[in-house]
Amino acid sequence: MKDPMIGQQLANFRVERLLGQGGMATVYYGHDIKLQRPVAIKVIDKRYKNDPAYTTRFVNEARMMANWRHENLIQIYYAGDELGYSYYVMEYVDGDDLSTVMSAYAEEGAQMPNDDILRIGNAIASALDYAHRQGVIHRDVKPSNVLIAKDGRVLLGDFGMALEVSDGSMGNIFGTPHYISPEQAKRSADAVPQSDLYSLGVILYEALAGAVPFNDASPASIALLHITQAPPSLRSVNPEISPAVEAVILKALEKNPKNRYQSGAQLMSSLGEALKSTSSSPKMSLPPLPVGVPTIRHNRVPVDQMTKHLKPKKKGDTIYRPIADIPAATARDTKEPKKKNRWIFILLLLLLLGIGGWYFTKSGFFATRNIPASTFTSPPPTLTDVPVLPTQTLTDTPAQSTASLTSVPSTTPTATLTFTPTSTETVIPTAVATDSPTEQPSITPTSDSVSIPLPGIPTVKYPDGNNLTLLWNDTSFHMLNRSRESRSLSGFSFERLDANDQPTDTFPGYRWENNKFKYIPSKHCVSIKIYRDEDPPYIDPPDCHGTYASIIQPSKEENPELFFWNPKEGSTQFRVLWLKEEVARCEISASTCEIYIP
């Protein structure tokens, strides 16, 4: 069902399309009909419009930022309350968030260029120092709240969780676990300006290493790691990082706020000096990071060029073009040196292949060889000469000539598969039933005598693939991308299974696609919410951190076939397909399911 806000006019601003949805508000692309310019319109979510605490936070964010003037902070234009919703209008930033950009580098196993790390880090630090001078702590500094405009500007946004130093209200609001400071993890109201700088330190760590220092499926576990564990060594994943750079980042991530840099300017000044060092420190043999965290290589493709290639290659593929596909004119210093003897190597390889082919043809290696039956000795070779299958037991059923497989005491005759040779090398398996090692009467099975089941489809088809988590209740369904890669939304489909394992209700993943997202980025969620006039009990999983690439709200009355996860008589499971291949089956009653795709 169409979003009721789209097409509405709020004061001088026409709502045109959805841009994204966070934990407490929805952001739309709009048009200022008076000044003829694009705008972004942030509207409080209908779940919270009657909640005084959330409404106060929302209004305070607009009031606070409207009085600020800083090149790295989003400008507020207008605020109002119409159609029963509080909203405010701000400048529209045409670009990508830092999370998307960092995912592009991570997918290539590459480090963002140092110049861009410094440029973006300085912008965030400058915005935070400005906010701190106004007596405001952001409390939710993370890559998805940093916007990189196509004109090169870097802006920090979303002060919805900001805490005024003089006001401890809403101090129980929890920040994003991957970037949260230890003191916030203990008690959010204990946040200090250096808490924001800790979060900036995590962003810098991720930009240099390609991964956050702490990760886990449980937000509480991540928070505990921030409190108790030292960050893994940066140099173990990126050997090009100097000890001086690592020391700066580790100081930014000190557990005690007093031991950190006391301002963003100090942090970035120290990092700039460390990165200027021309002496390359020797590579060290250090303990590796946890499984799944690859090493990272240096990259000189600048952010402004990387963002020009954030386009899908084809359906089902990852969203970013390989760096090798970026034209040489734009990918500065990324060309590898040519191999001088490349053609000599290719010619030698072809010559060797030709000689090998002639030899094997001459010797008859590929020829069909007839082997007489007398070649084999009695008894014929058993299946123990080939990979061993699980031991099966054979019992005779008096009423039938069929032998069925079952688990019985060891005195029951067992079935051993053997090979009966023919006049060629072809081998036909036969079954031999044995009461004891000395007596082996032969039984030749037919199609209706012994049924050997095929191996079952594994629960996890791609255990080393990209992990996504599904979470749902009666009124909403969420998919969280826990992997480091973005995946095509159109590659997914979900099907309810009836009592006969036949698919019924179906949801195609392309329904999630919108003007901005054709994919689900790393660490983002997509959601389906059943549209109702009243406020239903939707779930908002903490693991989604309020970061949604797409949310759709179809009506159950108009589109009943889309709701594959709802309880329904005669249906206990739904299956997940990736590029039309079944990759998982999920129990509807479980309310959660882990899936893995290539």
DSSP symbols for 92-141: ---EEEHHHHHHHHHHTTBPPPHHHHHHHHHHHHHHHHHHHHTTEE----
Assigned fold of 466-597 = Immunoglobulin-like (2.60.40)
Nearest to 257 by CA among 171, 180, 205: 180
Residue pair 117/98 in contact (Cβ under 8 Å)? The answer is no
From 32, 97, 140, 540, active-site residue: 140
What pLDDT does 307 receive?
61
Q: Which residue has the higher pLDDT, 86 or 303?
A: 86
Contacts for 213-218: CB closer than 8 Å, 24+ residues apart:
213/253, 214/178, 215/178, 215/290, 217/469, 217/482, 217/543
| 391 pLDDT tier (thresholds 50, 70, 90) | very low
Report pTM. 0.54
Q: Which of 238-242, 438-442, 469-473 has the highest mean pLDDT?
A: 469-473
Compute the C-alpha angle 416/417/422, nearest 5°.
140
Nearest to 411 by CA among 444, 443, 433: 433
DSSP code per residue over 175-206: --GGG--HHHHH-GGG--HHHHHHHHHHHHHH
Nearest to 236 by CA among 285, 271, 280: 285
The overall average pLDDT reported for the chain is 74
Residue with tokens 């120092």: 129
Residue pair 112/121 in contact (Cβ under 8 Å)? The answer is no
Q: Tell me the β-bridge partners of 73.
A: 156
Would the pLDDT of 126 be above 80? yes
Nearest to 562 by CA among 528, 533, 538, 589: 528
DSSP code per residue over 260-272: S-SSHHHHHHHHH
What is the mean predicted confidence (pLDDT) over 304-328? 40
Look at domain 9-91 and name its CATH class. Answer: alpha beta
| 360 pLDDT tier (thresholds 50, 70, 90) | low
**Which residues have C-beta within 8 Å of that of residue 119, sequence separation ≥ 6?**
154
Residue pair 481/594 in contact (Cβ under 8 Å)? The answer is no
DSSP code per residue over 430-484: EEEEESBTTB--EE---TTTB--PPPPPPSSS-TTSEEEEEEE-SSEEEEEE-SS
Would the pLDDT of 52 be above 60? yes
Please write down the HEC assignment for all residues of 18-78: EEEECCCEEEEEEEECCCCEEEEEEEECCCCCCCHHHHHHHHHHHHHHHCCCCCCECCEEE
Q: Domain map of the chain by residue range? A: 9-91, 95-309, 373-443, 466-597
Angle between helices 114-133 and 264-276 (to 10 degrees): 160
**What secondary structure letter does DSSP report for 571?**
B
**Domain at 95-309, CATH from 3.60.10.10, 3.90.1010.10, 3.30.1490.120, 1.10.510.10:** 1.10.510.10
Contacts for 379-387: CB closer than 8 Å, 24+ residues apart:
379/418, 379/440, 380/418, 380/419, 380/420, 380/421, 381/418, 381/419, 382/416, 382/417, 382/418, 382/419, 383/416, 383/417, 383/418, 383/419, 383/429, 385/419
What pLDDT does 529 receive?
87
Compute the C-alpha angle 139/145/149, nearest 5°.
145
For 292: left if phi > 0, alpha if psi spans -120 to 50, otherwise beta; the answer is left
Would the pLDDT of 375 be above 70? no
pLDDT tens digits for range 88-100: 999 999 988 999 8
What pLDDT does 459 receive?
53
| 534 pLDDT tier (thresholds 50, 70, 90) | low
Among the listed ranges 163-172, 544-553, 580-589, which one has the minimum average pLDDT value?
Answer: 163-172
User: Per DSSP, which regions of 465-563 are E strands?
Assistant: 466-472, 476-481, 487-488, 492-497, 503-508, 519-520, 525-529, 548-552
Q: Cis omega (within 30 of 0) on the bond before 379?
A: yes
Instruction: Give me 89's structure tokens.
Output: 């209008």
Nearest to 596 by CA among 407, 469, 414: 469
Distance CA 36, CA 145 (A): 26
**What secondary structure letter does DSSP report for 568?**
B
Residue pair 132/193 in contact (Cβ under 8 Å)? The answer is yes
Distance CA 355, CA 362 (A): 11
Distance CA 474, CA 568 (A): 11
Exposure of 12 by Cβ count < 10 A (0-12 exposed, 13-18 middle, 19+ buried)? middle
Among the listed ranges 51-60, 346-355, 382-391, 487-496, which one has the minimum average pLDDT value?
Answer: 382-391
Task: Check if 190 is active-site.
Answer: no
**What secondary structure letter does DSSP report for 231?**
P
Distance CA 563, CA 555 (A): 10
- Strands 37-44, 25-32: pairing is antiparallel
Would the pLDDT of 302 be above 80? no
Amino acid at residue number 253 = L
| 544 pLDDT tier (thresholds 50, 70, 90) | confident
What pLDDT does 383 receive?
37
Angle between helices 243-252 and 264-276 (to 10 degrees): 170
What is the mean predicted confidence (pLDDT) over 95-123? 88
Nearest to 107 by CA among 258, 348, 299: 299
| 491 pLDDT tier (thresholds 50, 70, 90) | confident
| 493 pLDDT tier (thresholds 50, 70, 90) | very high
Compute the C-alpha angle 541/542/545, nearest 5°.
105
Exposure of 49 by Cβ count < 10 A (0-12 exposed, 13-18 middle, 19+ buried)? middle
Q: How many C-alpha atoms does 99 have within 13 Å on its Cβ side? A: 20
Distance CA 589, CA 594 (A): 14
